[in-house]
Amino acid sequence: MEQRTYKLGTEQFGAIGFGSERLEDVSLEETVKMFDYAIENGVNVLDMYIPNPVVRDHVGIALEGRRDKMLIQGHLGTIHKNDQYERTRDMDEIKFSFDDMLTRMKTDYIDFGMIHYVDTEEDFNKILDNKIYDYALELKKQGVIKKLGFSSHDPIIATKMASLDEMALCMFSINPAYDMENSPDTDIWKMMEHEGFDVETAKMNPARLNFYNFCEAKGIALTVMKAFGGGTLLTDGTSPFGKAMSIYQCMKYALDKPAVVSTLLGYASLEELKAALKFYEISEAEKDYSDILTIKDFGVTGRCMYCGHCQPCPKSITIAYVNKFLDLALIGDSVPDTVRDHYLALPHHASECIKCGKCEKNCPFGVQIREKMEKAVEVFGI
Ligand code: SF4
Ligand code: SF4
């Protein structure tokens, strides 16, 4: 399993993680088998937004004696009520549900205490006014929460959340259709139905791409939810592109985004988990998602997607990284030191480019790579 890191911490994240939302109908026996297989194969990130007591109990048993094998995202702001999940901003409910999670999961700490599902300005203010953020900070002070995180679907609000002190991680919904969602008010339920999505007029939303770059520059880790768009991207009939993507194309798309450390997938069986982990056995061609993004001009043309299809380069330049650091360097008025340091640490630099143009023939998105290399030399001096 590929391991990924981030600047604000030392944890190593397996690039394929575990979302708990589909464990609700899975037996204890199957859950334990799934965790056995996941841990044996390098899956070490688990999201536990689901407050269902049965799932918490099952996961607690499955992780008994090996709690340290999973980085757990535990949420502040979900509660199990009337036999279903509910989002809450009530402090008593938040405290009760968080304590219940620790008890049922047989642990006395959570790796990432996640302020749950913040998508609007009003809710952002509520997080601060209702003292939910203060409560999260207090838990961190006590060592019950190791680091702070949050989940969101809106790039503007997520940027505000990510700017708060102590924020280290964000779980964000990432897939090609959501990245083309340009509605000013993000409503995840409408997004899941692809309401208002018109393939003829759809364009990449720069605010979302800017948010990923913001996280990369600040060192915040991104974990991915809804990589399959709630499953809608996986069939011709439900995909807003009119053409199904494979799970591997969706995973690759998410993992190519800046700052992403892990894509968290929901599994309802051991077989589904095994299928997802085949990601590292299949060919690069089977993960290539360019056929979807080039159906028409979605505003992607000329923009690097960091997919790596332009390799190999005769001078061994890792073109996607050069482009990524160049994009990050060009966001503000000056080049952040951390971006410059990362660029300088690359084994090969843009100055080694011999302008052969081979990479441009391989790039499905029409990126003028030779021009980018020239710009990188201008910006970084090498
Ligand atoms: S230059 Fe093209 S092929 Fe290379 S990483 Fe960027 S988008 Fe992908
Ligand atoms: S043009 Fe430059 S970056 Fe592209 S393959 Fe040739 S040497 Fe490598």
> Where in the chain are the domains?
3-293, 319-380
Report the pLDDT value the prediction gives residue 186, as an integer from 0 to 100: 63
* Closest to 48 measured CA to CA, from 80, 12, 93, 81: 80
Residue 304's contacts (CB-CB under 8 Å, 6 or more residues apart) are 320, 323, 324, 327, 365, 367, 372
Identify the CATH number of the domain defined by range 3-293. 3.20.20.100
Closest C-alpha residue for ligand 1 atom 6: 304
Cβ(319) – ligand 1 distance below 6 Å: yes
Cβ(94) – ligand 1 distance below 6 Å: no
369 CA closest ligand 1 atom index: 1
Q: What are phi and psi of 364, to 5 degrees?
A: -75, -10
| Location of structure tokens 């201008």 | 378
Residue 328's contacts (CB-CB under 8 Å, 6 or more residues apart) are 213, 216, 217, 258, 336, 339
Which pTM does this prediction carry? 0.86
Answer yes or no: are the C-beta atoms of 265 and 225 closer than 8 Å.
no
DSSP-derived secondary structure for 206-262: HHHHHHHHHHHHHT-EEEEE-TTTTTGGGSTTT-TTSSPPPHHHHHHHHHTSTTEEE
Report the pLDDT value the prediction gives residue 139, as an integer from 0 to 100: 97
Ligand 2, pocket-test mutation among 316, 319, 321, most atoms within 8 A of CB: 319
Answer yes or no: are the C-beta atoms of 153 and 205 closer than 8 Å.
no
What does the alpha-carbon distance between residue 303 and residue 367 come to, in Å, rounded to a whole number?
6
Q: What are phi and psi of 314, to 5 degrees?
A: -60, -20
Report the pLDDT value the prediction gives residue 252, as an integer from 0 to 100: 95
Closest C-alpha residue for ligand 1 atom 4: 310
Taking the CA of 293 as reference, the closest ligand is: 1
Q: What are phi and psi of 171, to 5 degrees?
A: -95, 120
Report the pLDDT value the prediction gives residue 184, as an integer from 0 to 100: 63
Cβ(356) – ligand 2 distance below 6 Å: yes
Report the pLDDT value the prediction gives residue 338, as an integer from 0 to 100: 85
Taking the CA of 321 as reference, the closest ligand is: 1
Residue 318's contacts (CB-CB under 8 Å, 6 or more residues apart) are 311, 346, 347, 348
Ligand 1 centroid to residue 82 C-alpha, Å: 49
3-state secondary structure at position 282: coil
Answer yes or no: are the C-beta atoms of 273 and 38 closer than 8 Å.
yes
Low-confidence ranges of the chain (pLDDT < 70): 182-186, 298-300
Cβ(369) – ligand 1 distance below 6 Å: yes
Residue 253: C-alpha distances to residues 177, 248, 376 (Å): 11, 8, 24
Report the pLDDT value the prediction gives residue 320, as an integer from 0 to 100: 92
Report the pLDDT value the prediction gives residue 299, as an integer from 0 to 100: 66
* Closest to 21 measured CA to CA, from 117, 140, 139: 117
171, burial (CB in 10 Å: exposed 0-12, middle 13-18, buried 19+)? buried
Quick one: how far is CA 291 from the chain centroid? 22
DSSP-derived secondary structure for 99-167: HHHHHHTT-S-EEEEEEP---SHHHHHHHHHTTHHHHHHHHHHHTSEEEEEEEES-HHHHHHHHHSTTE
Ligand 2 centroid to residue 369 C-alpha, Å: 8
Cβ(371) – ligand 2 distance below 6 Å: no
- The size of the chain, in residues, is 382
Cβ(141) – ligand 2 distance below 6 Å: no
Cβ(326) – ligand 1 distance below 6 Å: no
Cβ(313) – ligand 1 distance below 6 Å: no
3-state secondary structure at position 351: helix
* Beta pairing, strands 84-87 & 110-115: unpaired
Quote the DSSP letter at residue 314: T
What does the alpha-carbon distance between residue 98 and residue 84 come to, in Å, rounded to a whole number?
16
